[in-house]
Structure 1
């Protein structure tokens, strides 16, 4: 029997299949020939039949076509979709800031002369008393902390401004200290609150020497007002009056 190809060219298609299914390898054996005038064909015969056909080929009977293809399988199971998770991390250091001028002179608050009633025509019950209250106003445009924090105010002496060398005086009629109040104001939020900032304040009165307020992260202007109300129940002993107030912004 004679097999006739359509046209003059036999085109062999090479196909590589990318699929998660198991690979299908080509293994084709085709035989054809004529025995005693009778044509025959055999496609992928079994082992015993193949032996007979191959024996016939050795005697010059018939013909054979073989096509075999093989390739190694994937090294691992194919994964059509791959998810890769990247864990990103970093650290922001806790910090509190307060712009307090460019040198220490900016923090030396001098009331100058604290006026007392010195007129010789003053009533004895008013002589040497303060003429009016003493005030200091401090503000900075940059203050705050980037985490939960506490604002603290501490006076070094609960008596306020103190005359350390007053000499002798009648304690019924004079005193050697000037009490003062400290008020700090800013815009912030309550401790652990996640909300819009609002007006906050911390007051240490004339009768106290320390105070604190806990809050969440904030940044804003801060105003500090120091007021020494006029001492009018007693006269002030002459001399230098000093005191210190410490403002602390401390991360929690």
Structure 2
């Protein structure tokens, strides 16, 4: 996947003409700040140069040098010479997503998922969820520097949050899973398109195991909203419900 090639071409024109010999460039300039006072020094010599060079080794100031030297002409002299240099380089593909400083930042705990447990509840409503379970995740740094695929996948698929140790229960009256939806939004561009970024989104409904979307290079913040609608047709079996939802950014 790290296979991007970036190239550029530049041209330099070198112009020369027969002329009397002239002094050749030999410049040495220093600048910096000592005790809050800025200083400059042009073409110093002797001990001054030694002191300034020691300052550079100590992390003080900066230096600019320009030197030029050319031998006397031989052969035929042209009044113009043009040299073209081909410049090439490679930028590696990369995708980034800041997801906190440790794994705890990625453990999304709904806490207690409320149910209707009062003795005065009608039997048709007992043990049903009292409301939706929701979560919001936001990162300020996400994106890829090449055409890419944004993917959201639920490990348990359409079952969503699953109670893996539910024991026995009447399937007409109870269920041991809680479906949920995921919606991610960011600013980006369509695949292989060069244009100004616009709002983008990728939605995975409660009835989908996952979804993908192709994008061109993008970088922006990203919001991820998770919503588990209240189960009101059946009661929930007691226990721990869990799933892993995976967001993946892949440079293509």
**Partner of 1:89 in structure 2?**
88
* Structure 2 alignment gaps of length 5 or more: 1-16, 19-72
**Partner of 2:181 in structure 1?**
181
Task: Give per-residue Cα distances to partners, 1:99-157, cap 9 Å, x unaligned.
Answer: 00000000000000000000111111110000000000000000011111010001001
The structure that has the greater radius of gyration is 1
**Partner of 2:196 in structure 1?**
196
**Partner of 1:9 in structure 2?**
none
CA distance in 2, matches of 1:196, 1:135: 32
Please give the secondary structure, in 2, of the residue aligned with 1:219.
strand
Q: How far does residue 95 in structure 1 lie from its aligned partner after superposition? A: 0.4
Q: How far does residue 226 in structure 1 lie from its aligned partner after superposition? A: 0.4
How many residues matched? 181
Matched, 1:234 2:234: yes
Please give the secondary structure, in 2, of the residue aligned with 1:225.
strand
Relative to its length, the structure with more strand (as a share) is 2
**Partner of 1:157 in structure 2?**
156
* Structure 1 alignment gaps of length 5 or more: 1-17, 20-73
Q: How far does residue 76 in structure 1 lie from its aligned partner after superposition? A: 5.7
CA distance in 2, matches of 1:194, 1:137: 31
Q: How far does residue 244 in structure 1 lie from its aligned partner after superposition? A: 0.3
**Partner of 1:13 in structure 2?**
none
After superposing on structure 2, the runs of 4+ consecutive aligned residues of structure 1 that deviate more than 6 Å are none
Please give the secondary structure, in 1, of the residue aligned with 2:96.
strand
Deviates more, 1:130-139 or 1:85-94: 85-94
Matched, 1:146 2:145: yes
Q: How far does residue 246 in structure 1 lie from its aligned partner after superposition? A: 0.4
**Partner of 1:65 in structure 2?**
none
Please give the secondary structure, in 2, of the residue aligned with 1:207.
coil
Task: Give per-residue Cα distances to partners, 1:150-199, cap 9 Å, x unaligned.
Answer: 10001001200000010110000000000000000000000111111110
Equivalences for residues 1-252 of structure 1 within 5 A: 78-158=77-157, 159-252=159-252
CA distance in 2, matches of 1:176, 1:75: 92
CA RMSD of aligned residues (A): 1.5
CA distance in 1, matches of 2:164, 2:86: 62
| TM-score using structure 2 length | 0.70
